[in-house]
Amino acid sequence: MTAFHSRIIGTGSYLPEKTVTNADLAATLDTSDEWIRQRTGICQRHIAAEHENASDLALKASQRALEAAGISADRLDLIIVATSTPDMVFPSTACILQAKLGVRGMPAFDVQAVCSGFVYALATADQFMRSGRYEHVLVVGAEVFSRILDWEDRGTCVLFGDGAGAVVLERGSTPGILAAPLHADGSHAGILSVPGSVCGGKISGRPLLQMDGTAVFKFAVKVLEEVALEALAEAGLQKSDIDWLIPHQANIRILQATAKKLGLSMERVITTVDRHANTSAASVPLALDEAVRDGRIKRGQHVMLEGVGGGFTWGAILIKW
Ligand code: UT7
């Protein structure tokens, strides 16, 4: 029996035009460029224009990924979008994206795993492709987190930004994706949430991000190490085999702590948090696209993607590029 695998054949990303610096925030908020840089490594973030929704950012990132892959959208067999900031309650952002790409027929759905969303979506796509049923799959992480922030809460609003990243996967006989462990623990739901919903035409609860930053920090560092080791063990590889580590871009100190635990120098870690801030499900594909396009990631290398976020959810994708 033929074994099927998935391989990334094109990446793309998109950042909204408008940038907001730490100094811009400090003009209206009790914060400072120094505090934000020191505690998070963030210098600026991109913020979507009023008319831009998650599907608009997803469209631009997808078009770039399809162009890099050298295939047209009508050859896609499945579209998966990871987002926690969908255009509307329904239809899914994936269906809206499909229409904007000008195609129809193939299944399209959203994955909701907050900052682990892209890793969850990529693992899901890999499983579909291993069945042999799908040949080309588009996986996107797209967020407009600026819409769910309390812009008067200095403890959270300085941390996030908007953006989208996408990959096109192709079925093949060699991997590709070597391991994709995923996890969740809903008992930690309260430490990072947007506790609001739509009920009877009204908003019920508070639909703005709230977080216990210290608890999230500790949890993130712990599970990012654990799940990376799990992916390596599944693939029969060692820490020293990792050529590039791309963790979810939440805070430079989380990236540094994870790299240290994995015995990697920061030169092996792709970092965009300084310029993008935390773009939730978009952060990993944004960083991946940057490192592919600037030539750091080369064919044959081992790349470890890692997500961690609300839920709590976490996971890793180990790729032979
Ligand atoms: O995708 C996952 C989502 N989230 C994360 O990954 C975030 C994980 N957590 C973190 O990155 C960090 O915990 C934060 C960056 C959120 C906070 O850093 P910290 O070093 O843990 O600071 P802290 O929360 O202990 O706050 C220290 C002080 C406090 O003042 P007092 O009580 O010491 O007087 C805060 O009120 O810093 C204050 N503070 C600020 N000061 C200036 C909090 N936010 C700000 C701010 N500007 N923006």
**pLDDT tens figures, 173-225:** 888 999 999 999 999 999 999 999 999 999 999 999 999 999 999 999 999 99
Domain 5-173 has CATH 3.40.47.10: yes
Nearest-angstrom CA–CA distance, 23 and 165:
27
Radius of gyration (Cα) for the chain, nearest Å?
18
The residue nearest atom 8 of ligand 1, judged by CA position, is 217
Residue 1: the pLDDT is 59
Q: What is the dihedral of CA 42, 43, 44, 45, to 10 degrees?
A: -10
Nearest-angstrom CA–CA distance, 232 and 270:
18
* Architecture in CATH for domain 178-320: 3-Layer(aba) Sandwich (3.40)
Check pLDDT > 90 for residue 82: yes
Check pLDDT > 80 for residue 6: yes
Q: List the domain boundaries for the chain.
A: 5-173, 178-320
Residue 175: the pLDDT is 85
Ligand 1 pocket residue status of 154, Cβ below 6 Å: yes
The residue nearest atom 7 of ligand 1, judged by CA position, is 213
Q: Which atom of ligand 1 is nearest to the CA of 192?
A: 3
Q: Distances in Å between the alpha carbon of 151 and those of 28, 84, 147, 219, 242?
A: 10, 18, 9, 25, 38
Instruction: Provide CB contacts within 8 A for 82, sequence distance 6+.
Output: 110, 111, 112, 113, 117, 118, 120, 121, 139, 140, 141, 142, 281
Mean pLDDT of the chain: 97
Find the catalytic residue in 53, 115, 251, 276.
115
**Quick one: angle between helices 252-261 and 33-40, nearest 10?**
20
* Segment 91-109 mean pLDDT: 98
Helices (H), the chain: 22-26, 33-40, 54-69, 93-100, 117-130, 154-157, 213-235, 252-261, 273-276, 283-293
Handedness of CA 85, 259, 15, 160 (dihedral sign): positive
Residue 157 falls in the annotated catalytic set: no
Residue 173: the pLDDT is 86
* Segment 133-162 mean pLDDT: 97
Check pLDDT > 90 for residue 2: no
**Quick one: angle between helices 213-235 and 252-261, nearest 10?**
40
Ligand 1 pocket residue status of 25, Cβ below 6 Å: no
Cα of 48 to ligand 1 centre, how many Å?
24
Nearest-angstrom CA–CA distance, 149 and 25:
13
Check pLDDT > 70 for residue 96: yes
Cα of 29 to ligand 1 centre, how many Å?
14
* Segment 241-260 mean pLDDT: 98
Neighbours of 242 (CB within 10 A): 22
Residue 5 falls in the annotated catalytic set: no
Each residue's pLDDT tens digit, 105-118: 999 999 999 999 99
Cα of 105 to ligand 1 centre, how many Å?
46
The residue nearest atom 43 of ligand 1, judged by CA position, is 155
Q: Which atom of ligand 1 is nearest to the CA of 211?
A: 4
Token pair 């994995």 is at which residue?
Answer: 262
Nearest to 232 by CA among 178, 183, 270: 178
Check pLDDT > 70 for residue 65: yes
Nearest-angstrom CA–CA distance, 22 and 27:
9
Cα of 276 to ligand 1 centre, how many Å?
18
Each residue's pLDDT tens digit, 15-31: 999 999 999 999 999 99
Cα of 172 to ligand 1 centre, how many Å?
45
